[in-house]
Amino acid sequence: MPAAPDLKTLEAAATWYVQLNDGTVNEARTRAWQLWLQSSPQHAAAWARVETLQQQWSMMPRQAALSSLGAAGAQRRDVLKMLGMLLAVGGCNWLAVEQVPYRSMLAQQRTGLGERRSLLLDDGSQLELNADTAIDIRFDPEQRLIQLHRGEILVQTAKDPAQRPFIVQTAEGRIRALGTQFSVRQLDEQTRVGVLQAAVEVGPRQHVERALRLEAGQQVTFDRDHVQAPGLLPPASTAWVQGMLSVNDWRLGDFIQELGRYRPGVLRCAASVQGLRISGAFRFDDTDTVLQNLSKTLPVKVRYLTRYWASIEPA
């Protein structure tokens, strides 16, 4: 019996439902949905909940619960609405939507795949959001707090006349700025911090008293209990701000996974070529060109099932 679909899979099912019912006919999109549906038992289980909803509300027009889909913001609201319905079908209660993955969907500031954004905060600090990032901004008389739910940010702090601390909080702990420029990325059950200027203090959630001072040019990864030994911050670690992905001797599998952050749809790499090594600087605003150029430097080819489903395979 397949495992119950997780929140990310339910969100994908909700997204497909909204896209398939936006009033337009798109054969490529329909084919991509079919491939997604067939690629995992969890996908099928999530779509079964969609069908349950359709059966329960068979008297309701297909678009009755949907907004006018002329804007990305409206589409996002419809996805969240549908996701809430799917959670209800699965017997989830409000405690489920209070969990971090769902809170990220309701975050104040969000970027999608391939989208980046610059924000000027009320205190004059500058914030850069990488693709697929979600944050909440909570400034009060006591502190300046950025809650990073997922994704990656680059922070340039400004001096605060009230001398409030500037803190980035993730699932694993807190990063306190010490007059600095730094990046924070939320990984799977880990947080990675890199310091470009001045310093920060890193404290894991379970042992905040063990805060580690991190200096400019250093990088560290930590979980809720433990901060790893600091290492050197890789050159061009924030090249994403300029729309570049800079890598040095990466595994192809890791490169393709990272490139997938900037490309809609499914991007896969065959196991037999994941260990190939790759170096260079790549402009991810045009991922199709990046994929085409792979075959010029590596013994691979790109096979497209649809525009939104690409697979890197042996040549």
Confidence at residue 69, expressed as pLDDT on a 0 to 100 scale: 39
Helix (H, G, I), strand (E, B) or coil at 117: strand
- The residue type found at 172 is E
Range of the domain at 77: 7-105
Last residue of a domain, one of 90, 105, 120: 105
CA 53 to chain centre: 28
Question: 124: phi > 0 → left, psi -120 to 50 → alpha, else beta; which?
Answer: left
Residues 6+ apart with CB under 8 A from 9: 40, 42, 43, 45, 46
For residues 25 and 42, membership in a common domain is answered with: yes
For residues 222 and 274, membership in a common domain is answered with: no
For residues 116 and 228, membership in a common domain is answered with: yes
For residues 69 and 14, membership in a common domain is answered with: yes
CA distance 46 to 8: 10
Q: How does the average pLDDT of the chain come out, rounded?
A: 84
Determine the average pLDDT of the residues in 4-29.
78
For residues 13 and 60, membership in a common domain is answered with: yes
For residues 141 and 213, membership in a common domain is answered with: yes
For residues 223 and 132, membership in a common domain is answered with: yes
Give the long-range contacts of residues 209-215, CB within 8 A, separation 24 or more: 211/176, 213/178
For residues 91 and 62, membership in a common domain is answered with: yes
Q: What is the pLDDT of residues 38-50, one digit of tens each?
A: 888 999 988 888 8
Q: What is the pLDDT of residues 287-302, one digit of tens each?
A: 999 999 998 999 999 9
- The pLDDT confidence band at residue 191, using thresholds 50, 70 and 90, is very high
Q: Where do runs of H (alpha helix) occur along the chain? A: 7-20, 27-38, 41-56, 72-89, 94-97, 100-105, 252-259, 287-297
Domain count, the chain: 3
Q: Is 72 exposed, middle or buried (0-12, 13-18, 19+ CB in 10 A)?
A: exposed
- The pLDDT confidence band at residue 70, using thresholds 50, 70 and 90, is very low
CB of 165 within 8 A of CB of 143? Answer: yes
CA distance 147 to 156: 16
For residues 125 and 207, membership in a common domain is answered with: yes
Q: What is the CATH number of the domain that holds 187?
A: 2.60.120.1440
- The pLDDT confidence band at residue 19, using thresholds 50, 70 and 90, is confident
Q: Is 237 inside any structural domain?
A: no
For residue 83 the two structure tokens come to 């996701």
pTM for the model stands at: 0.71
For residues 189 and 301, membership in a common domain is answered with: no
Last residue of a domain, one of 77, 105, 133: 105
Q: What is the CATH number of the domain that holds 291?
A: 3.55.50.30
For residues 81 and 37, membership in a common domain is answered with: yes
Last residue of a domain, one of 71, 105, 139: 105
For residues 210 and 119, membership in a common domain is answered with: yes
Q: Is 1 inside any structural domain?
A: no
Q: What is the pLDDT of residues 221-240, one digit of tens each?
A: 999 999 999 999 998 899 99
